[in-house]
Chain A
Amino acid sequence: MLIPHPLLGARDAQEFTYLGDASLMDRPDPNGPEAEAAFCDYVFLRDNPAGVHRELWFHEQGDRSWLVVTRDTVTHEILGAELARDVKRGAQT
């Protein structure tokens, strides 16, 4: 596979380490109500759809960026890739 790195263009997927569901970026509020239950969901429950999925990939043998890659897990078509940092900042504002 080729991962379309937002800064570096198409890069060999072998340069990356795969983590999975990008919902891992949505860490629950540790002080919120039912924090433990929220963390249980966060840690143990992941989506694994056959179809379009937002995933975290780490450019380990590259620029060390974490990317959010939107990928169809059936066709492996990649619909987009963003710096996770930007995604997180965007979600915060």
Chain B
Amino acid sequence: MTRLTGGLIDREKPLDFTFDGRSYSGYAGDTLAAALMANGVDLIGRSFKYHRPRGVLSAGSEEPNALVTLRDGARAEPNTRATVAELYAGLTARSQNHVGSLERDLLAVNDLLSPLFAAGFYYKTFMWPRTFWEKLYEPAIRRAAGLGALSMEPDPDAYDKGFLHCDLLVIGAGAAGLMAALTAGRAGAKVILADEDMRPGGRLLAESDLLNDAPAHEWVRAVRAELASFPNVRFMPRTTVFGVYDHGIYGAVERVADHLPTPGDGVRQTFWRITAKRAVLAAGAIERHIPFADNDRPGILLAGAMRAYANRWATLPGRAGAPVAVFTNGDDGHRTARDLVAKGVPVLGVVDTREDAQAFGDYEVFRGATVTGTRGRRGLRAIQITRGATATWHDVGALGVAGGWNPNVHLASHHRGRPVWKADLLAFVPGADGPKGLFPAGAVAGRGGTASALADGVRAATTALADIGMTAPKVALPEASDVPHAQAAFWHVPGKRRAWVDFQNDVTVKDIALAHTENMRSVEHLKRWTTLGMATDQGKTSNIAALAVMAEQTGQTIPGTGTTIFRPPYTGVSLSVLGGGDTGKHFRPTRLTPTHDWAAAQGATFVEVGPWMRAQMFPRAGEGHWRETVDREVTAVRSAVGICDVTTLGKIDVQGADAAEFLNRVYANMMATLKVGRVRYGLMLREDGHLYDDGTCARLGEDHFVVTTTTANAGAVYRNMEFARQCLWPDLDVQLISTTDAWAQIAVAGPKSRALLERIVDDTDLSNEAFPFMACAALTICGGLRARLFRISFSGELAYELAVPARYGHALMERLAERGADLGVTPYGTEALGVLRIEKGHATGAEITGQTTASMLGLGRMVSAKKDALGAVMSRREGLAAEAWRLVGLKPVGGDGPILAGSHLFTEGAVRTLDTDQGWVTSACYSPNLGRHIALGYLEHGDTRMGERIVAANPLEGQEMAVEVVSPDFVDPEGVRLRD
């Protein structure tokens, strides 16, 4: 391992790691890219399309080339940028996108075929025959072109999410960001300083320029210490603010443990939603390159990155001892040469496109010259320098390319903020229409010189704080200066060979010219045609160069050519962290009924109903098939007594002097006439006239009702009732309180239900005379426990629902089971519930679909014509009133077998078309009471077609069945039992 002197690495802490199975060693403070470079490894990956050998281009998150798969097994993370991956002991990384070894990639043949693979190649070539695309072309292309592969295993790590609030969010901890945070911190503002790097400082860590006559990192350390002393400042390293959202909300990902082998029992990353009153964007600038022939070889990198590697990580690419060159269009490249000379690196010289270039030190300057070619298959060996008509080859190990800096306007351009072109900077800076409350500072604002950036940080923070009525103190600036930064508008070196613009997606200058020739005139079309800027790096190093090339083609200015729109995220965000750690069954919280544990102890199986877990059935030993269990439970309800937890139905307490009037307006049927101590079935319509929900309405007092909703609609019905109360009739004296969870409600159903309940109620006469069908009462049970009893029936049997405070639900269920043992009491689940209601022709979600009218259920007359209610007017409109479908029962004729729900109904012998379609099957089951399969369905004029033989056809399942139209009331159609 060869290192230069100095650097911000900890030479006391060597760290071993492997790349492609080979062992290497680096130091704490290294990125993987820096450590590989220090070990002489410059070839890191292969390009997306042509499989060209590629090395490191940058020293930051803008990296297009040096993508690796980090870690192994389930933790393997493809497409990780080696330039930001922090080195840790035992790190393992693998190169990507090659067949065979990285050095001898068999798919490098694509490069030889590159004349075929120009922009738009796939669009043009693989269009015909169309069917080949999905089966042949696309899979083959995907195999050949691509990046790393997913592990296809579940992510084993934990993630979290959190919420932060602050007065000032400072994005970026470089010169401007540190000064902004310091200013706001001293002002007493609540500050969050977020930076994507592992340590604060930004470019200050990469440059050799002094602050207060000392290395800049010493000043950074002092500022960091002061910030740490403020309880009102939170510094968040390894945190990327990736998006700006409305009203000062910022999305950020903190990489809590990405720099560790595993997160242990902590989280790997945290997703933060930051609500900031104001923010300072001090995200710095991203260096751009200059496309020239064969500019993509390992060893060619951005000149600023080269400086960063030399100054911060004490390393350089290229063969040990080989000279280094710099290609630049401005002063900035000279800083690299100056720093390298100071480090004792042999410098060939600086190739400067300007005739009047000034050297920054003792090295050769090739003025008015360009780099026009390179050699070296797996790493740079030589460059061709051309001045006028003279071209000469020079041996070099590495080349730094300085094309100028692009202010990192990304976040300022969210919310469709449009950057504006600054001709003096040859760059876009944030426009005035960026996100509100976001103040660009430093290099982002085009003030990238060290002294300028420091001062601008103070200015931005002071302005931002003043905006929220806070006063910033005067903050002294450290002694610093701006390095000269004159620059020529030189965008690419013309030539015949390929010059890469977008490295990751292999887009060349020629591709952009070709796109223009093929009439892709808008920059958005250019992107899609060439895929420029569409790789994992989103064109951070290539977009401006591409615009410049395109501007040259169109003869327009760069700003006239356009900019692309930036959207979140700034860099890739894993879905795991966006999920915030709620995975598996915690992805959506589960509601449990008060008798859940009791049911589980009885061996119940459970089923999800919305967020609820409900007992599905209670299998007993020896029951081999689920039908045996369900048949037994259904039979028990019809012959003895069953108990079932129905707590999940929504319960809303409706109280007030106008409660009855209010319910009259939200239910289609008459509610105001309901007597105290009675229950009524209610239909709720949507305002468009269709059925919305059904339930029961119990009048417990003159101005006190309890209404129930279906389980699935509970939230929506409550919301809709509040809408009616607050937005339509705010002067009614009525209050709505949801009480679903307060009461455990148990259905007790079956001919022996009264006998069972009589054993547990305290001194209440449950005789048919005293407590008839549709009666309700508040009473006490089991020695004084307050309860509510409703005589309502979903099964068609004599039945009750008994409600007690939820904490007693478990004990009540136990008590019912114990006291009803001799009566044959049987717990039943949702499956039996379903059979019981189908046998009785009761509608549920399968029937009330949102397109159902009351008439379709045969309940048209329930919609009162005597009063207004939600949906009443529209339910009478011609189209709905004429709806001919009616709920019918269906049973197979000529043998038995399951009728498939979803089958469509036709008259016998009819051709099966949409025109002859007469309805459909909504629900079906086996009825143990009838000893055959039955179904419910909607049939045109079904109410007048009893006894008719029709066909239930299900082409999807290949089933046809002759069925007879019968009453949907399969059991006790006269309703004797429930009134008994």
The answer to whether B976 has its CB under 8 Å from any CB of chain A is: no
Could you tell me if A56 and B727 are in contact, using CB atoms closer than 8 angstroms? yes
Could you tell me if B727 and A43 are in contact, using CB atoms closer than 8 angstroms? no
Nearest-neighbor residue (CB-CB) of A32 within chain B: B873
Complex interface: chain B residues within 8 A of A45 (CB): none
Could you tell me if A35 and B873 are in contact, using CB atoms closer than 8 angstroms? yes
Could you tell me the distance between the alpha carbons of A77 and B727 in the complex, rounded to whole angstroms? 24
Complex interface: chain B residues within 8 A of A10 (CB): 247
The answer to whether B257 has its CB under 8 Å from any CB of chain A is: no
Interface 1/0s, chain B 711-739, versus A by CB < 8 A? 00001000100110011101100000000
Could you tell me if B246 and A76 are in contact, using CB atoms closer than 8 angstroms? yes
**In residues 675-730 of chain B, which contact A (Cβ within 8 Å)?**
687-688, 715, 719, 722-723, 726-728, 730
| Residue from B247, B868, B877 with most neighbouring chain A CB atoms (10 Å) | B247
Complex interface: chain A residues within 8 A of B730 (CB): 84-85, 88-89
The answer to whether A79 has its CB under 8 Å from any CB of chain B is: no
The answer to whether B248 has its CB under 8 Å from any CB of chain A is: yes
> How many residues of A are counted as interface, with CB atoms below 8 angstroms from the partner's CB atoms?
36
| Known interface pairs A2-B246, A17-B719, A92-B731; A84-B726 also in contact (CB < 8 Å) | yes
Instruction: Give the tally of cross-chain contacts (CB within 8 A).
Output: 72
Could you tell me if B727 and A66 are in contact, using CB atoms closer than 8 angstroms? yes
Interface 1/0s, chain A 40-73, versus B by CB < 8 A? 1011100000000000101010001110000000
Choose among A36, A66, A77 the residue that contacts B723 (Cβ–Cβ < 8 A). A66
Shortest distance between the CB of B709 and any CB in chain A (Å): 15
Could you tell me the distance between the alpha carbons of A61 and B719 in the complex, rounded to whole angstroms? 11
Could you tell me if A66 and B728 are in contact, using CB atoms closer than 8 angstroms? no
SS of A interface (majority) = mixed
Complex interface: chain B residues within 8 A of A17 (CB): 719
Interface 1/0s, chain B 840-873, versus A by CB < 8 A? 0000000000000000000000000000100011
Nearest-neighbor residue (CB-CB) of B275 within chain A: A2
| Known interface pairs A66-B727, A88-B727; A36-B873 also in contact (CB < 8 Å) | yes
Choose among B249, B726, B868 the residue that contacts A31 (Cβ–Cβ < 8 A). B868
The answer to whether B876 has its CB under 8 Å from any CB of chain A is: yes
Nearest-neighbor residue (CB-CB) of A77 within chain B: B436
Choose among A2, A30, A42 the residue that contacts B872 (Cβ–Cβ < 8 A). A30
Could you tell me if A66 and B726 are in contact, using CB atoms closer than 8 angstroms? yes
Could you tell me if B248 and A2 are in contact, using CB atoms closer than 8 angstroms? yes
The answer to whether B89 has its CB under 8 Å from any CB of chain A is: no
The answer to whether A7 has its CB under 8 Å from any CB of chain B is: no
Could you tell me the distance between the alpha carbons of A42 and B687 in the complex, rounded to whole angstroms? 9
| Known interface pairs A2-B249, A31-B868, A76-B247; A19-B723 also in contact (CB < 8 Å) | yes
Complex interface: chain B residues within 8 A of A36 (CB): 873-874, 876-877
Could you tell me the distance between the alpha carbons of A85 and B856 in the complex, rounded to whole angstroms? 36
Nearest-neighbor residue (CB-CB) of B870 within chain A: A27
Nearest-neighbor residue (CB-CB) of A86 within chain B: B730
Nearest-neighbor residue (CB-CB) of B867 within chain A: A30
Complex interface: chain A residues within 8 A of B723 (CB): 19, 24, 56, 58, 66
- For the side of the interface on B, what is the size category? 20 to 34
Shortest distance between the CB of A55 and any CB in chain B (Å): 12
Could you tell me if B731 and A89 are in contact, using CB atoms closer than 8 angstroms? yes
Could you tell me if A1 and B247 are in contact, using CB atoms closer than 8 angstroms? yes
Shortest distance between the CB of B413 and any CB in chain A (Å): 15
| Known interface pairs A2-B247, A25-B728; A39-B874 also in contact (CB < 8 Å) | yes
Shortest distance between the CB of B285 and any CB in chain A (Å): 28
Could you tell me the distance between the alpha carbons of A17 and B514 in the complex, rounded to whole angstroms? 49
Nearest-neighbor residue (CB-CB) of A93 within chain B: B731
Could you tell me if B726 and A88 are in contact, using CB atoms closer than 8 angstroms? yes
Complex interface: chain A residues within 8 A of B731 (CB): 89, 92
Shortest distance between the CB of B360 and any CB in chain A (Å): 47
Could you tell me the distance between the alpha carbons of A27 and B626 in the complex, rounded to whole angstroms? 50
Complex interface: chain B residues within 8 A of A60 (CB): 715, 719
Choose among A30, A40, A58 the residue that contacts B719 (Cβ–Cβ < 8 A). A58
| Known interface pairs A2-B275, A25-B727, A92-B731; A30-B868 also in contact (CB < 8 Å) | yes
Choose among B722, B868, B876 the residue that contacts A58 (Cβ–Cβ < 8 A). B722
Could you tell me the distance between the alpha carbons of A39 and B876 in the complex, rounded to whole angstroms? 11
Could you tell me the distance between the alpha carbons of A30 and B685 in the complex, rounded to whole angstroms? 15
Could you tell me if A64 and B722 are in contact, using CB atoms closer than 8 angstroms? yes
Could you tell me the distance between the alpha carbons of A19 and B246 in the complex, rounded to whole angstroms? 19
Complex interface: chain B residues within 8 A of A78 (CB): 247
Could you tell me the distance between the alpha carbons of A83 and B253 in the complex, rounded to whole angstroms? 36
Could you tell me if B727 and A24 are in contact, using CB atoms closer than 8 angstroms? yes
| Known interface pairs A31-B868, A58-B719, A58-B723; A88-B728 also in contact (CB < 8 Å) | yes
Could you tell me if A65 and B874 are in contact, using CB atoms closer than 8 angstroms? no
Could you tell me the distance between the alpha carbons of A30 and B728 in the complex, rounded to whole angstroms? 13
Could you tell me the distance between the alpha carbons of A4 and B436 in the complex, rounded to whole angstroms? 16
| Residue from B249, B723, B876 with most neighbouring chain A CB atoms (10 Å) | B723
Interface 1/0s, chain B 260-300, versus A by CB < 8 A? 00000000000000010000000000000000000000000
Could you tell me if A39 and B719 are in contact, using CB atoms closer than 8 angstroms? no
Could you tell me the distance between the alpha carbons of A1 and B249 in the complex, rounded to whole angstroms? 7
Nearest-neighbor residue (CB-CB) of B163 within chain A: A12
Could you tell me the distance between the alpha carbons of A24 and B727 in the complex, rounded to whole angstroms? 8
Complex interface: chain A residues within 8 A of B245 (CB): 1
Shortest distance between the CB of A40 and any CB in chain B (Å): 8
Shortest distance between the CB of A75 and any CB in chain B (Å): 8
Interface 1/0s, chain B 810-850, versus A by CB < 8 A? 00000000000000000000000000000000000000000
Could you tell me the distance between the alpha carbons of A60 and B720 in the complex, rounded to whole angstroms? 11
Could you tell me the distance between the alpha carbons of A64 and B415 in the complex, rounded to whole angstroms? 30
Binding site for A on B (CB under 8 A): 245-249, 275, 415, 436, 687-688, 715, 719, 722-723, 726-728, 730-731, 868, 872-874, 876-877
- What are some 30 contacts across the A-B interface (CB < 8 A)? A1-B249, A2-B246, A2-B247, A2-B248, A2-B275, A25-B727, A25-B728, A28-B873, A30-B868, A30-B872, A36-B873, A36-B877, A39-B873, A42-B687, A43-B688, A56-B723, A58-B719, A60-B715, A60-B719, A64-B722, A66-B727, A75-B415, A76-B246, A77-B436, A85-B726, A88-B726, A88-B728, A88-B730, A89-B730, A92-B731
List of 8 A-B pairs having minimum Cβ-Cβ separation, nearest first: A30-B868, A2-B247, A1-B246, A85-B730, A76-B246, A66-B726, A25-B727, A85-B726
Binding site for B on A (CB under 8 A): 1-2, 10, 12-13, 17, 19, 24-25, 27-28, 30-31, 35-36, 39-40, 42-44, 56, 58, 60, 64-66, 75-78, 83-85, 88-89, 92
Other than the known A36-B876, A84-B730, what 6 A-B pairs have Cβ atoms closer than 8 Å? A1-B246, A2-B249, A17-B719, A40-B874, A78-B247, A88-B726
